[in-house]
Chains A and B, each alone.
Chain A
Amino acid sequence: MGLFDKLAGWLGLKKKEVNVLCLGLDNSGKTTIINQLKPSNAQTQDIVPTIGFNIEKFKTSSLSFTVFDMSGQGRYRNLWEHYYKEGQAIIFVIDSADKLRMVVAKEELDTLLNHPDVKHRRIPILFFANKMDVREALSSVKVSQLLCLENIKDKPWHICASDALRGEGLQEGVDWLQDQIRTLRT
């Protein structure tokens, strides 16, 4: 770290870096959510299914986030676990209109929570019950029931209903995540 960076850090000009993993099934809206969180001049217009993963950056009032936007397609899901070690927080996105695959989302979440790199860490998890704008979408309460989130006892978690197309609900979630990371650090 250069002298300037150090100085900036002391003065509170330089923000703390946090690595966040963005996980969830394919088509749940991970890329759309992250795109919304980026500054408007960095946003892309057309979002295509992610291949492998992408690294994106965005900032909040006090933190600088580096997000690993993983692909949710079945054949890429085995990549997720290679990044668990680096992740200091997890964003788990659920398509709340996809009732059929809620069991698959639960299965992947359970696999994630039982992974040795995650299991014993107090790593904050933010859930987005996305696509709340879709008519047949389930409520965030229903989603948390189906995923049995109440069983997560040793990690701080939070669920928000969101509409990534219009950016609704995203700020609430990110504010929670920022608070969690700050309390963990101090």
Chain B
Amino acid sequence: MSSSADVSGEASKWLDAHYDPVANLYTFTSCVDLADLGGDGENKLVIGDLGDGSCGMKLKVYRGTALVSESTLLDLPTGLVSFLMDLHEPRIPAVAVASGPFIYVYKNLRPYFKFTLPGLEVNALEQDVWRQAREGQIDPLALKELLEGVRDTADVPLSARSLRYLALEREDMQEFVSLHKAQPVRRQTVITCIGTLRKSTADEDGVSCLVIGAESSDVYILDPEAFTILSKLSLPSAPTMMDVTGQFDVEFRITVACRNGNIYILRRESTKPKYCIELSSHPVGLVRVGKNVVVGCAEEQLQGFTQKGKKLWTASLPAPITTMAAMDLPTRGFQAVLVGLANCEVHLYREKNLVSVIKTPDVVTGLRFGRYGREDGALVMTTKGGGLAVKILKRTATFDERDGAPGPPPAQSVRLNVPKKTKLYVDQTLREREHAAAMHRAFQMDLSRVRLAAAKAYVKALEAGLTPVSARPSVPLKMNAVVQGLGPAFKLTLNVQNTAACRPILNLTVSFLYDVGLYSMRTPYFRIPLLVPGPVYPFETLVECTSDKGISDVIKVFVLHDGKTAPLLTAHINMPVSEGLALT
């Protein structure tokens, strides 16, 4: 019950049920299955163990956390499936293990039947050459020469026996010929992948046919009980992975990934592929989710296709894919794709969205999600180093579409409600496009005019001392005025500042010019004391509006310098309308 490293958030989804880093289990997804081999409602884990690749191949069965059965396999397993082959009670599934040209069928974990793929056509010339050798008409050297001639010219390839003979040293030839010449020449293919297909009902417990992909670019469908070939379909290339759906008697669809890097879709009505998906790189994983096919590519990509081969989406992966498996949880209506990656992670994709990342202590090579023991949501993982891990999906686990998914934020895909282009807009655009040069010219002309007018006004203002900033460099002054009050009495505050660096200003006077019929001022004229450079001096004076007609006027302020006729500064104060009535 050891726990492996978990990213935060994953702990709320998966429980670590079991991890044995030294289970001595070397296998791939194609050789892992879950099945109720005891007929007691408790699923076992069946594994075709590849051992070290040359010996130690075994058929292993786990119950819960314990290995309960082990039997030796004669050759490397290439695929393993469990399937119901008959209707006998109790309904215990058989196990089919594919290796070389054979399928070994186990019932109750005892060998039950061995199926051999039919031999391939043998080259007539090759056969004739071996006949001559048997009858002693040619010596081993001549045999070699003749076989080489056949190999180079004929379109039917040589048998494995002839190829081995050609590779022999001269001293071993005689012995090989005498050992083998009596047997007829055979050409045999090997099984590359295996799947199951329900015979006639879609029920969970329906009898299933075996579907086999062979190196000879053929796909065979076998009868569940008699193991006769029900159908033979051919492909343009050798199949490597396969997904089968449907029922043999009704309608089926076999999606096959082939060694030429294409994916072909076979249907019941034809022995030739119906659709072809050409990929940009080799397929390394193939999973069907509902009606769509998800393909893992060698270029670290996951691609989704419709059942007719139309591409739906692409998702980039952070590392090369080691294996892929489907995650189907019908009780919760959840379907997704598990992708084992070379960076010790298993990613869970729902469509193109990454919904969960499981960190594993080792690279995962075998993946299977399904019912294990009595748990429907079990994830079985075998690792490169021979480990076995089982995780269980929590009852309360939910997968957030967005969580962890790299890419644009969701707000980016929200469509804005952009109004339709009106006719006016279109006309305007056309007009602008046609008369762009003229419009630009007119604009430039107006702009120059505005600038000229502004410059003229500025010069005039400077000359007349009409600005609130003094233009004379010897007496740099700045002034602004504030009016307070609602009327009829207003307070006028003049803020005067000497902006010189260090020189004070002396001998200044302020004078107001206003309509005496409208306003009266207590001090329409006063002197300004010495102005130290820097601080802002506020000068307040009171203005009374004497009219009750609700009109207002401008009061002009002049700052004068003794001995000069032109004012230093001028400001126009727009008086507000008096809102109160004068007390009379």
CB distance from A102 to the nearest CB of B (A): 7
Using known A-B contacts A74-B395, A107-B394, A136-B66, determine if residue A100 contacts B331 with beta carbons closer than 8 Å. Answer: no
B18 within 8 A of A: yes
B70 within 8 A of A: no
User: Which of A25, A98, A103, A136 has the most CB atoms of chain B within a 10 A radius of its CB?
Assistant: A103
Q: Are B65 and A100 in contact (CB under 8 A)?
A: yes
CA distance A27 to B374 in the complex (A): 9
Among A79-136, those with CB < 8 Å from B are 98-104, 107-108, 111, 136
The one of B376, B390, B396 in contact with A100, judged by C-beta atoms closer than 8 angstroms, is B390
Q: Are B17 and A98 in contact (CB under 8 A)?
A: no
Contact with A along B7-35 (1 / 0, CB 8 A): 00000000111100000000000000000
A-chain residues with CB within 8 Å of residue B395 when the two chains form the complex: 74, 77-78, 104, 107-108
Q: Are A101 and B1 in contact (CB under 8 A)?
A: no
B349 within 8 A of A: no
CB distance from B279 to the nearest CB of A (A): 38
Q: How many residues of B contact A (CB 8 A)?
A: 20
Q: Are A100 and B18 in contact (CB under 8 A)?
A: yes
B-chain residues with CB within 8 Å of residue A75 when the two chains form the complex: 331
Q: Are B65 and A103 in contact (CB under 8 A)?
A: no
Contact with A along B190-203 (1 / 0, CB 8 A): 00000000000000
Q: Are B331 and A74 in contact (CB under 8 A)?
A: yes
CA distance A101 to B375 in the complex (A): 8
A-chain residues with CB within 8 Å of residue B378 when the two chains form the complex: 100
Q: Are A100 and B394 in contact (CB under 8 A)?
A: no
A-chain residues with CB within 8 Å of residue B468 when the two chains form the complex: none
CB distance from B188 to the nearest CB of A (A): 42
Residue of A nearest to B390 (CB): A100
Q: Are A101 and B373 in contact (CB under 8 A)?
A: yes
CA distance A63 to B390 in the complex (A): 44
Q: Are B16 and A98 in contact (CB under 8 A)?
A: no
CA distance A99 to B15 in the complex (A): 13
Q: Are A103 and B374 in contact (CB under 8 A)?
A: no
CA distance A146 to B16 in the complex (A): 12
The DSSP consensus for interface residues of chain A is: helix
Q: Are B373 and A100 in contact (CB under 8 A)?
A: yes
B392 within 8 A of A: yes
Using known A-B contacts A27-B374, A104-B375, A146-B1, determine if residue A99 contacts B392 with beta carbons closer than 8 Å. Answer: no
The one of B15, B373, B376, B396 in contact with A98, judged by C-beta atoms closer than 8 angstroms, is B373
Residue of A nearest to B392 (CB): A104
A26 within 8 A of B: yes
Contact with B along A1-43 (1 / 0, CB 8 A): 0000000000000000000000001110000000000000000
Q: Are A103 and B373 in contact (CB under 8 A)?
A: no
The one of B1, B372, B396 in contact with A103, judged by C-beta atoms closer than 8 angstroms, is B1
A-chain residues with CB within 8 Å of residue B372 when the two chains form the complex: 100
CA distance A103 to B1 in the complex (A): 8
Residue of B nearest to A75 (CB): B331
B-chain residues with CB within 8 Å of residue A102 when the two chains form the complex: 1, 17
Q: Are B375 and A107 in contact (CB under 8 A)?
A: no
CA distance A171 to B395 in the complex (A): 33
Q: Are A100 and B15 in contact (CB under 8 A)?
A: no
B-chain residues with CB within 8 Å of residue A26 when the two chains form the complex: 374
CB distance from B376 to the nearest CB of A (A): 7
CB distance from B427 to the nearest CB of A (A): 64
Q: Are B374 and A98 in contact (CB under 8 A)?
A: yes
CA distance A102 to B374 in the complex (A): 12
CB distance from B533 to the nearest CB of A (A): 74
CA distance A100 to B376 in the complex (A): 12
Using known A-B contacts A74-B331, A77-B395, A98-B374, determine if residue A103 contacts B16 with beta carbons closer than 8 Å. Answer: yes
CA distance A77 to B373 in the complex (A): 18
User: Which of A74, A99, A104 has the most CB atoms of chain B within a 10 A radius of its CB?
Assistant: A104
B-chain residues with CB within 8 Å of residue A103 when the two chains form the complex: 1, 15-17, 392
B320 within 8 A of A: no
B-chain residues with CB within 8 Å of residue A136 when the two chains form the complex: 66
Contact with B along A44-86 (1 / 0, CB 8 A): 0000000000000000000000000000001101100000000
B246 within 8 A of A: no
Contact with A along B54-79 (1 / 0, CB 8 A): 00000000001110000000000000
A-chain residues with CB within 8 Å of residue B373 when the two chains form the complex: 98, 100-101
A-chain residues with CB within 8 Å of residue B376 when the two chains form the complex: 74
Using known A-B contacts A74-B331, A136-B66, A146-B1, determine if residue A99 contacts B375 with beta carbons closer than 8 Å. Answer: no
User: Which of A26, A99, A111 has the most CB atoms of chain B within a 10 A radius of its CB?
Assistant: A99
CB distance from B144 to the nearest CB of A (A): 59
B-chain residues with CB within 8 Å of residue A25 when the two chains form the complex: 374
CA distance A98 to B374 in the complex (A): 9
A-chain residues with CB within 8 Å of residue B64 when the two chains form the complex: 98-100
The one of B16, B18, B331, B396 in contact with A99, judged by C-beta atoms closer than 8 angstroms, is B18
Residue of B nearest to A28 (CB): B374
CB distance from A78 to the nearest CB of B (A): 8
Using known A-B contacts A74-B331, A74-B376, A107-B394, determine if residue A101 contacts B17 with beta carbons closer than 8 Å. Answer: yes
B-chain residues with CB within 8 Å of residue A101 when the two chains form the complex: 17, 373-375, 392
CB distance from B85 to the nearest CB of A (A): 28
CB distance from B23 to the nearest CB of A (A): 14
CB distance from B224 to the nearest CB of A (A): 30
B-chain residues with CB within 8 Å of residue A108 when the two chains form the complex: 395
Residue of A nearest to B62 (CB): A100
CA distance A87 to B325 in the complex (A): 44
CA distance A173 to B16 in the complex (A): 30
Residue of A nearest to B16 (CB): A103
CA distance A107 to B65 in the complex (A): 18
CB distance from A129 to the nearest CB of B (A): 15
CA distance A108 to B395 in the complex (A): 9
Contact with A along B370-383 (1 / 0, CB 8 A): 00111110100000
The one of A77, A78, A100 in contact with B375, judged by C-beta atoms closer than 8 angstroms, is A100
CA distance A108 to B375 in the complex (A): 14
CB distance from B387 to the nearest CB of A (A): 16
B residues lining the A interface (CB < 8 Å): 1, 15-18, 64-66, 331, 372-376, 378, 390, 392, 394-396
Sample of 18 A–B contacts (CB below 8 Å): A26-B374, A27-B374, A74-B331, A74-B376, A75-B331, A99-B1, A99-B18, A100-B18, A100-B372, A101-B373, A101-B392, A102-B1, A103-B1, A104-B15, A104-B392, A107-B395, A136-B66, A146-B1
Inter-chain pairs besides A74-B331, A101-B392, 8 sampled, C-beta below 8 Å: A78-B395, A100-B373, A100-B378, A100-B390, A101-B374, A103-B1, A104-B15, A136-B66
A residues lining the B interface (CB < 8 Å): 25-27, 74-75, 77-78, 98-104, 107-108, 111, 136, 146
Nearest first, the 4 A-B pairs at minimum CB distance are: A100-B64, A103-B15, A99-B65, A100-B373
